[in-house]
Amino acid sequence: MHKVLAIETSCDETSVSIVSNIGDTFRIHSNIIASQIEDHSKWGGVVPELAARKHLESLPFVLDKALEESKIKIEEVDYIASTVAPGLVGCLRVGSITARSLCMLHSKPFLGIHHLEGHLSSILFSENYPKKSFLTLLVSGGHTELIKVDERRGMQRLGKSFDDAAGEAFDKVGRLLGLSYPGGPAIEKIAKNGDPMKFNLPKCRISDKKGGFLKYDFSFSGLKTAVLRLVERMNLDGKTIPIPDIAASFERVVAEVLVERTIKCADDHSLDDVVVVGGVAANNTLRKMMISEASKKSIKVHLAPLNLCTDNAAMIGAAALFRIKFKDHLSSLKLGVAGRLSIEQANTLYEENPPF
Ligand code: KG4
Ligand code: ZN
């Protein structure tokens, strides 16, 4: 059995988790998450400097609670991991410096983890997760990507958003409808009372220079603008804004776009398993639609456990355990942090001479 203490501070959740695995079975011993949502909601979005300061304040207490709840002493942990990219640099630094200091103090090996690899590793805690190549739809506040993952974690990005991430679109539309932050859960809640077919909103595509459209890529900023224009027009006409209907129509279109392109990509690449992870993967309309459309093509859908869709340290620990199990990977204690890093470059985090 390998035990990992993992730290996640890339955005607005301070989280520490102790996880372990025996072979293919992954287990969470504790997963403490201190959310900063209340601190940021009055600003309508995450304020990076405030987020970094809050991580500094909370991390010692979150760490203490995670160890206490796990009933595992830090001396008994085999590895220490933290998210090092991508994310808000000041925030990443807090987690990474804490993890590396603990490694030095307790003579433990360190693993720096790519945040998106963390999200896709959340699936390791679900039953019957795919063991061969699969397609991941990663939908969060910062990313919307289609990633082909092979048995040994070779990763290839097959699609991405050219502008807003799906979660970002939820947050922006939530704000313009006057809902609370973050927009995703607020839109999902109010959409339950709305008609998803009431408004015909656009499914934006990216033009291919060779003609036609890119098949597996996304664009959500046009959809957000369409909602804005709809609201502006209704305001000018003196109409009451039917917020539940707009929220439901927006949610349906986002889910349809994500599902259609994911299923097409899996089908074209002969991948029988689709994994859905990230904050937006918590959305019930998306979860249901993905399962029902995939079944028409005999594709199996694996959804991230609901409590592990948004940022948490257990998924970072799972990514570390997978790296140790299959690749014996460790990072240099000199590894720093980076605001941006493509998932295809995740292997560089384990080079003797770190990339940053
Ligand atoms: O993965 P995450 O916690 O952070 C990033 O790495 O970005 O994702 C946060 C995003 C936010 O944009 C939030 O609005 C969205 O996930 N989200 C949802 C739901 N829950 C969270 N979007 C749609 N429906 C939800 N139920
Ligand atoms: Zn995330």
Q: In this structure, are 24 and 156 located in the same domain?
A: no
User: What pLDDT was estimated at residue 235?
Assistant: 96
Query: Distance, CA 18 to ligand 2 centroid (Å)?
Result: 18
Task: Say whether both 141 and 91 belong to one domain.
Answer: no
Nearest Cα residue to 184 out of 239, 142, 121, 235: 142
> Do the domain assignments include residue 355?
no
For the chain, how many structural domains are there in total? Answer: 2
The C-alpha atoms of residue 100 and residue 104 are separated, in whole angstroms, by 6
> Do 193 and 277 lie in a common domain?
yes
Write down the pLDDT at residue 327.
83
Judgement on whether residues 8 and 113 belong to the same structural domain of the protein: yes
Report how far ligand 2's centroid is from the alpha carbon of 197 (Å).
30
Residue 233: domain span? 131-303
Which chain residues have CB less than 5 Å from ligand 2, an ion? 140, 311
- 356 within a domain of the structure (yes/no): no
User: How many residues would you count in the chain?
Assistant: 356
**For residue 126, is it within any domain?**
no
Q: Phi and psi of 171, rounded to 5°?
A: -65, -40
Ligand 1: atom nearest CA of 171 is 14
Q: Is 23 left (phi over 0), alpha (psi -120 to 50) or beta?
A: left
- Residue 308 Cβ contacting ligand 1 at under 6 Å: no
Task: Please report the pLDDT score of residue 103 as a whole number.
Answer: 98
142 lines ligand 1 (CB under 6 A): yes
CB 145 less than 6 A from any atom of ligand 1: no
Give residue 41's pLDDT. 84
Whether 239 and 99 share a structural domain: no
- Does residue 193 sit within a domain? yes
Shared-domain flag, residues 147 and 273: yes
* Separation of CA 35 and ligand 1 centre (Å): 13
190, 136: one domain: yes
Residues of the chain with pLDDT under 50: none
Give the model's pLDDT for residue 29: 98
Can you give the pLDDT at residue 349? Answer: 97
What's the pTM value of the predicted model, to 2 decimals? 0.96
Q: Are residues 247 and 153 in the same domain?
A: yes
Are residues 103 and 41 located together in one domain of the fold?
yes
Domain ends where: 303, 322, 340? 303
170 lines ligand 1 (CB under 6 A): yes
| Residue 174 within a domain | yes
Predicted local distance difference test score (pLDDT) of residue 17:
98
For residue 201, what is the domain's CATH number?
A: 3.30.420.40
CB 185 near ligand 1, within 6 Å: yes
pLDDT at residue 326, as a whole number? 86
Give a yes or no: residue 178 inside a domain: yes
CA distances (Å), 285 to each of 14, 36, 154, 175, 293, in order? 28, 26, 30, 20, 12
Is there a single domain that holds both residue 179 and residue 142? yes
CA distance linking residue 195 with residue 247, whole number of Å: 9
Domain membership flag for residue 104: yes
Beta bridge partners of 147: 136, 157
Say if residue 177 is in the same domain as residue 158: yes
pLDDT at 46: 87
For the CA of 119, the nearest atom of ligand 1: 1
Q: Are residues 63 and 142 in the same domain?
A: no
